[in-house]
């Protein structure tokens, strides 16, 4: 080896060591940097663990939200369903400017209290704050476009009602956690048909099928709305019931309620007048009084002393259009004689009258799937005046649903039916029901109901619909007020049945505080408003229900 080579060797070795040292230092620096980042991520993960747990528990805990089955009408048409909708929440720790965030959010959601929202967003000790639940996709996009860090979304189950206010009283409503608070929605929870929601998963259970027919509901609702305008009524209600099964095919109370609008449920004018309100129904109660007389052995031709008004203490009971002579039982019904009805009740006696009302289910509260129902308002004792007034529909306030059920029993051959809002399959349960009147009494009642519509003097003649054999009875009752009755405020009602020769349905129509019009000759009696409204309704719904018109 040359001297030059020996001298060059040590210099080359020293120059190769320096780059390796620098590489090790650089790798160490990079490793430390990654370690720092990893440590920070671990720290943040630990810091967020409790908040994540809170969010998970609030958003998907079985204790919070329920998944509900669909609700459909008897023909499978959708009335209520669950959908997935985004809900907006905030993580205050990630909100950079609580004041600005609150102000910008309130521009989108004016209903939110800006001060309360600002305080919540500024509270860095909180990791979860609901801002707005159940947003439409369009609104969620508007929130997203704000670009505010710390605003986040989660999918939730929300209840929707495609028919809006149609059927709203029956369906009820749910709360913010999709739990039923009234009507069929509450009933679904009571029978265990709903289930704890896991995330936003929809229920896979079979739909709950109601007895309602959406087409009949629509026709009934539209005709009642028209009647309110035509007669300037403050409210209206009506129902259609199957006399053999007790199924409520349609039930409408106007003004209605939208199950999705919380404020509707708080408005007292939107009460369910069919199942939740009690009223003195007036002369339609004479159907019950005549039924009681027939059960005691009278015939439609039996004579009743109606020549003079009835006296009861300081009270005098008179007819609106007195004939001044005795009437037959049939005439008492057709001319709607208060004196005649009072005489029939007095001849039966107080004990018999009370027992008959009890047997028909008019003396106690009625429970259905929709509600427990209010208790009837009834006299504490039945003396002479109470016997008389009960006979023509004053002194006893019941729900229209109760009276319709009693009428169904009187029309179907005499067997009690239990009103239901659930669709029934198979044989009609009427064959298993309690007999409340004889088949003879039921047949005679159907006959006199039909006479009241076909007789030129009948109060129900304007309810006739050619081809459908309508029978019925009018009722015009002064509405109760504190300390007495309001003379100019009446409840006009009509109880109808069709076809009267072999009834399948009963209808009950009520108009609250109608006004006299040119079309009614200035009168406000039920024969001039509730009866023709019934005719319009039956003409529309009979074909929908498969009831054929008979050729004349």
Which residues are the active-site residues? 283
Going by their DSSP bridges, the two strands 484-498 and 471-481 should be labelled as: antiparallel
Report the alpha-carbon distance of residue 441 to residue 448 in Å, rounded.
11
Report the alpha-carbon distance of residue 6 to residue 19 in Å, rounded.
23
Going by their DSSP bridges, the two strands 208-209 and 71-72 should be labelled as: parallel
Cα 313 to Cα 150, 305, 316: the distances in Å are 78, 19, 8
Which residues pair with residue 498 across a beta bridge? 505
Structure tokens at 322: 């007195």
Q: Is 47 helix (H, G, I), strand (E, B) or coil?
A: helix
Compute the half-sphere exposure of residue 299: CA atoms within 13 Å on the CB side of its CA.
Answer: 2
Of residues 514, 468, 457, the one with CA closest to residue 491:
514
Report the alpha-carbon distance of residue 473 to residue 449 in Å, rounded.
6
Q: Which residues contact 292 (CB under 8 A, 6 or more apart)?
A: 344, 345, 348, 352, 353, 356
Residues 216 and 545 sit within 8 Å (Cβ to Cβ): yes
Report the alpha-carbon distance of residue 475 to residue 393 in Å, rounded.
8
Q: Helices 439-454 and 286-295 meet at what angle, rounded to 10?
A: 140
Of residues 278, 279, 238, the one with CA closest to residue 256:
238
Structure tokens at 110: 């004016």
Q: How many residues comprise the chain?
A: 552
How many Cβ atoms sit within 10 Å of the Cβ of residue 244? 22
Residues 239 and 276 sit within 8 Å (Cβ to Cβ): no
Report the alpha-carbon distance of residue 545 to residue 214 in Å, rounded.
11
Q: Quick one: DSSP state of residue 422?
A: B
């Amino acid at each position: 080896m040359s001297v030059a080579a020996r001298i060059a060797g040590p210099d080359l070795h020293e120059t190769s060591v320096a780059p390796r040292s620098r590489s090790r230092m650089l790798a160490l620096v990079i490793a430390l940097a990654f370690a720092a980042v990893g440590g920070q991520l671990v720290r943040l993960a630990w810091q967020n663990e409790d908040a994540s747990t809170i969010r998970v528990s609030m958003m998907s805990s079985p204790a919070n939200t329920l998944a509900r089955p669909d609700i459909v009408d008897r023909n499978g048409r959708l009335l209520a369903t669950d959908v997935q909708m985004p809900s907006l929440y905030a993580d205050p720790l990630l909100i950079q400017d609580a004041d600005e965030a609150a102000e910008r959010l309130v521009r989108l959601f004016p209903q939110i209290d800006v001060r309360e929202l600002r305080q919540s967003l500024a509270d860095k000790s909180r990791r979860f704050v609901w801002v707005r639940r159940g947003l439409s996709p369009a609104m969620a996009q508007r929130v997203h476009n704000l670009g505010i860090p710390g605003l986040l979304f989660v999918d939730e189950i929300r209840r929707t009602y495609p028919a809006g206010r149609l059927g709203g009283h029956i369906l009820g409503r749910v709360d913010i956690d999709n739990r039923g608070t009234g009507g069929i929605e509450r009933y679904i929870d009571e029978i265990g048909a709903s289930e704890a929601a896991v995330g936003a998963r929809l229920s896979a259970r079979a739909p709950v099928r109601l007895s309602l027919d959406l087409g009949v509901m629509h026709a009934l609702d539209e005709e009642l709305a028209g009647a309110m305008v035509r007669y300037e009524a403050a409210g209206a209600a009506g129902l259609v019931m199957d006399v053999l099964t007790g199924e409520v095919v349609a039930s409408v109370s106007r003004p209605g309620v939208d199950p999705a609008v919380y404020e509707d449920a708080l408005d007292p004018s939107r009460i369910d007048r069919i199942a939740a309100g009690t009223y003195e129904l007036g002369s339609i109660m004479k159907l019950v009084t005549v039924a009681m007389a027939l059960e005691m052995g009278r015939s439609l031709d039996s004579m009743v002393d109606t020549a003079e008004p009835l006296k009861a203490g300081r009270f005098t009971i008179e007819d609106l259009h007195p004939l001044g002579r005795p009437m037959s039982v049939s005439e008492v019904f057709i001319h709607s004689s208060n004196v005649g009805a009072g005489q029939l009740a007095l001849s039966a006696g107080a004990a018999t009258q009370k027992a008959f009302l009890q047997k028909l289910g008019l003396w106690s509260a009625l429970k259905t799937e929709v509600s427990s129902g209010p208790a009837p308002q009834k006299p504490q004792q039945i003396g002479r005046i109470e016997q008389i007034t009960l006979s023509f529909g004053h002194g006893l306030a019941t729900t229209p649903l109760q009276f319709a059920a009693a009428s169904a029993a009187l029309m179907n051959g005499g067997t009690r039916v239990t009103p239901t809002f659930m669709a029934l399959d198979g044989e009609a349960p009427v064959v298993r029901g309690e007999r409340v009147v004889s088949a003879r009494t039921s047949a005679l009642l159907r006959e006199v109901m039909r006479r009241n519509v076909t007789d030129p003097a009948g109060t129900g003649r304007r309810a006739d619909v050619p081809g459908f054999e309508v029978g019925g009875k009018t009722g015009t009752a002064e509405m109760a007020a504190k300390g007495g009755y309001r003379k100019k405020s009446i409840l006009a009602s009509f109880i109808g049945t069709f076809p009267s020769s072999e009834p399948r349905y009963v209808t009950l129509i009520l108009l609250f505080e109608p006004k006299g019009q040119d079309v009614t000759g200035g009168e406000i009696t039920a024969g001039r408003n509730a009866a023709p409204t019934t005719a319009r309704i039956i003409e529309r719904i009979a074909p929908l229900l498969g009831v054929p018109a008979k050729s004349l």
